[in-house]
Chain A
Amino acid sequence: MLPMTKTSTIQFIINNLASKTGGVFKSIDTQFNFQDEFGDVYEILKQLDVDVRQEVVEKLMKFASETD
């Protein structure tokens, strides 16, 4: 058997993990997003909807246009 390079070792680990997760390798963010388990909590968190006042953004635009 040929020695494995770093890349092929990583690929081997990924494939191995993929086979253990039903053939589809999931990224950490997908695997641990808790959407299903904590859907009720996310529903509450989603209720927060704030935005900065437009005046503040306009001041920044003015600053940007004066900066060269």
Chain B
Amino acid sequence: MKTLSGLSDYELVQRYVNCNDKTSIEALINRHRKKIYTYILLVVKDQHLAEDVFQETFIKVIKSLKEGRYKDNGRFISWVIRIAHNLMIDHFRKEKQLNTISNDSYENDLFNSKKFADKTIEEEIVLDQISKDVRRLVHELPDDQREVVILRHYCGMSFKEIAEQTDVSINTALGRMRYALINLRRLIKEKNLSLSIK
């Protein structure tokens, strides 16, 4: 018999929906938490807001699965990212209406990196700084290029999935990725960034 980690997303979804197996939804969340959270955090730039959106996203996922509203016509992660994307759009719309300014709390998540396990305080501080530098770097990209980098590099989506998600052709998605990487290289050079522990 397969262990939970050996099951596909689809099999886990089926076990959760049909057998009400809570360990399956737990396995799904744990399997994709980093990708989804990174995607959200890189878009909203605020740790607390990212956590709220992450939570809302999976609440919606759980409800939709229970109500039988999930159709397996694509990858599970693409579906979850679409839900997160829509929630973020809703948030930004509301924020625009209220005319509030988002408070960037990048500084608050010093101990939010997995790399921090088994590290000295000094190393933790350096890693935290590196993490922040990379996020700032990604944030300097134009929106469309940033989105492709996040979806491709951090979420592991295929260009076909990215094209569907962002409503552009595959060639456009590929072009954006290429420009993003060229821009990132330029920014790294301009800022003279060396992101590693010496």
Task: Spell out A's residues near B (CB within 8 Å).
Answer: 28-29, 32, 34, 37-38, 40-42, 44-45, 47-53, 56-57, 59-61, 63-65, 67-68
Contacts and interface: CB of A to CB of B under 8 A. Distances in A.
Contact of A44 (B22, B134, B158): B134
B170 interface: yes
Contacts of B59: 60, 63
Contacts of A34: 177-178, 181
A48 to B, nearest CB: 4
B148 to A, nearest CB: 11
B64 to A, nearest CB: 11
B174 A56 contact: no
A47 B134 contact: yes
28 contacts: A32-B159, A32-B174, A38-B185, A40-B188, A41-B188, A42-B153, A44-B137, A44-B184, A44-B193, A45-B153, A48-B154, A50-B37, A50-B38, A50-B41, A51-B33, A51-B34, A51-B112, A52-B33, A52-B36, A52-B51, A53-B112, A60-B29, A61-B29, A63-B59, A64-B22, A64-B62, A67-B62, A67-B63
Interface string B59-99: 10011001000000000000000000000000000000000
B37 A49 contact: no
Contact of B184 (A29, A41, A53): A41
Contact of B114 (A29, A51, A65): A51
Contacts of B54: 52, 56
B178 to A, nearest CB: 7
Contacts of B135: 48
A57 B33 contact: yes
